[in-house]
Amino acid sequence: MTTGDRDKLFTPFETAGLRLRNRFVMAPMTRNFAPDGIPSDGVASYYARRAAADVGLIVTEGIGVDHPAALGRESMGGGASPVLHGDAALTRWRDIVTGVHAAGGLIVPQLWHQGVIRVPGTGYHPQAPSARPSGIWGPTDKAMVPPDYLAAVRDPSTPLTDSEIGDIIAAFARSAANARAVGFDGIALHGAHGYLIDSFLWGHTNMRDDRWGGDAAARALFAAEVVRAVRAATAPDFPIIFRFSQWKLQDYDARSAQTPDELAAMLAPIADGGVDIFDASTRLFSTPAFEGSDMGLAGWIKRLTGKPVIAVGGVGLSKDLQSSFAQPTVMTDNLALVADRIAQGEFDLIAVGRALLMDPLWVRKMRDGGAPDPFRLEAYATLD
């Protein structure tokens, strides 16, 4: 690894029609600063500060799609997550997008439906029934969630009907159209971590015997139809990013795909639906995805789909997300490893979450040799 290789992370890069000033993406992070679904005044400056400090692409926090059961209280705590429908919310998002663009950045919204993770009876529409592919939350023996949350979600509910599934797909499409209308630069779909789209992909939460369930390829139908609907509601050249993970809130060691062949079968219909970029969400970006290879999940996704890929997990910090809440954590510079993986063609972009939460100037400091602000847990509760 040479200094020149590391420096390439800070040079312009173009993919899927997005002209980025570097390889750094701000990862989506739940903030809960949106009372009644409308981002607070501080959200605009929060994103603009990162854009002004040279972040190449910003992916917003999860934004609830236009469906009554999209948002509620989840395992990580309270409500106040934003939406992307209604005049007040759309006006605020238009202002946020304008601010990011004025700072020289690009921004896409992460469209989100909590699905099985939502606590029944909570959210902006508490009366809305749960949205679960098979009416179950999933296995509970490995869940790293609070006991009171688990008690609230463990009871089974009625599986989604075919008509209800169609309504949710239409909700994603409406929200995507709204995103394009207010000026966002593309769409990011949250298809990971046990939330609704991912709960269709995972065999432990999707036990359906109709067209929405079955083997790996069949379980991907819902995700593929969401992508197709978003594509139809926006434009042929409007970038679509799809976040995929193996781990779930129900089980950090879970795998929707047990082998590379199964992963290929699952991702093929999603890619064919119109995805431009995959976002491979892992707790540590360098963790091998399958036995017999050192390659991470991002590398396998790129090899199997041929699409550009964003890697994420553990960049700039000494501990992964879960460990950082309980163990001493410090800021660190592991960009040499990132640059090496990119040089090998394993992935194309690197997403940074907590390091940018701690320090809005992190990308610039990493480029110029500055010392980043220290890790501090209280940053999770602010919009600095």
Place of tokens 């590391």: 6
Residue 70 CA neighbour count, 13 Å, CB half:
26
SS3 label, residue 18: strand
Quick check: 13 and 22 in contact, CB under 8 A? yes
Provide CB contacts within 8 A for 157, sequence distance 6+.
120, 129, 130, 132, 135
Instruction: Residue 35: count other Cβ atoms within 10 Å of its Cβ.
Output: 11
Sign of the C-alpha dihedral, residues 137, 141, 142, 145? positive
Provide CB contacts within 8 A for 290, sequence distance 6+.
259, 260, 300
Which tokens is 382 given? 């602010």
Choose the catalytic residue: 124, 195, 252, 380.
Answer: 195
Q: Known catalytic residue: 195? A: yes
CA distances from 28 to 156, 185, 288, 368 (A): 30, 15, 23, 25
Q: Where are the beta strands (DSSP E) in the chain?
A: 13-15, 18-20, 24-26, 57-64, 107-112, 187-193, 240-248, 277-281, 309-312, 349-352
| Residue 247 φ/ψ, nearest 5 degrees | -70, 150
Cross-strand pairs, 187: 240
Give the residue numbers marked as catalytic. 195
